[in-house]
């Protein structure tokens, strides 16, 4: 069973449908107790870090989520769901994350340019990723594959060994995917990344 956490801040149904399309038993749950019995957990996230982590804590999900990880079971974070795995974020002040991946979440600098043209923030749309190490969820994904991003803040990992893939936007090469033991995540949205995204969900579902 794959449980997708419903803490009122995620793109839930499209993630659930992607797993179902691949033949996996997946469900959206707003009950923290379900995390203690499930095989795998997906932590999605849309919106601001501050609001997401507040809802996650307020819904009582943090402790069972950490217990799930401590038990060695797979966890997949998506977008802000990946950002919350880090120590802290500077979005709308400083906010503590889950501390599963060392590092922090920072904003893209203002005034970035590429080819003489100013780049917009948020970073939104298709961009290519550079594979850094063999991550379980990126198995079969080709280097330089294009995936779909929507974010104004990015993860700055303290340890390069945690970075499974990176992406460049202007002068910033940021972490596009992380992997540490049974914790893995993508800054991009697999559910919006067509065949590449389906491959990622298939890899996670078969762990």
From the list 95, 155, 167, 191, the catalytic residue is 191
| Known catalytic residue at 191 | yes
Q: For the chain, what is the largest distance between any 2 Cα atoms, rounded to a whole number of angstroms?
A: 53
CA distance 139 to 164: 11
User: Is the distance from CB of 186 to CB of 150 less than 8 angstroms?
Assistant: no
- Regarding beta strands 146-151 and 123-131, do their DSSP bridges make them parallel or antiparallel, or are they unpaired? antiparallel
Cα-Cα end-to-end distance for the chain: 12
Q: What separation in angstroms does the CA of 12 have from each of 43, 146, 151?
A: 9, 22, 17
Is residue 163 within a helix (H) or strand (E), and if so which, with residue range?
strand 163-169
| Known catalytic residue at 95 | no
| Known catalytic residue at 79 | yes
From the list 52, 79, 155, 167, the catalytic residue is 79
Q: Which residues are catalytic?
A: 79, 189, 191
């Amino acid at each position: 069973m794959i449980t997708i956490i419903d803490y009122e801040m995620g793109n839930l149904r499209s993630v659930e449908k992607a797993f179902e399309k691949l033949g996996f038993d997946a469900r959206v749950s707003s009950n923290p107790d379900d995390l203690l019995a499930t095989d795998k957990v997906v932590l999605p996230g849309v919106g601001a870090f501050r609001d997401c982590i507040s809802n996650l804590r307020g819904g009582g999900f943090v402790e069972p989520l950490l217990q799930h990880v401590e038990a060695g079971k797979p966890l997949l974070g998506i977008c802000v769901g990946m950002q919350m795995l880090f120590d802290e974020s500077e979005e709308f002040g400083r906010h503590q994350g889950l501390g599963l991946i060392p590092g922090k979440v920072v904003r893209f600098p203002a005034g970035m340019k590429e080819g003489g043209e100013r780049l917009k923030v948020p970073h939104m749309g298709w961009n290519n990723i550079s594979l850094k190490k063999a991550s379980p969820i990126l198995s079969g994904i080709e280097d330089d594959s294009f995936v779909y991003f929507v974010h104004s803040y990015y993860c700055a990992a303290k340890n390069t060994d945690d970075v499974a893939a990176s992406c460049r936007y202007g002068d910033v090469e940021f972490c596009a995917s992380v992997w540490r033991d049974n914790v893995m995540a993508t800054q991009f949205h697999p559910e919006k990344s067509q065949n590449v995204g389906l491959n990622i969900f298939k890899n996670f579902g078969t762990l």
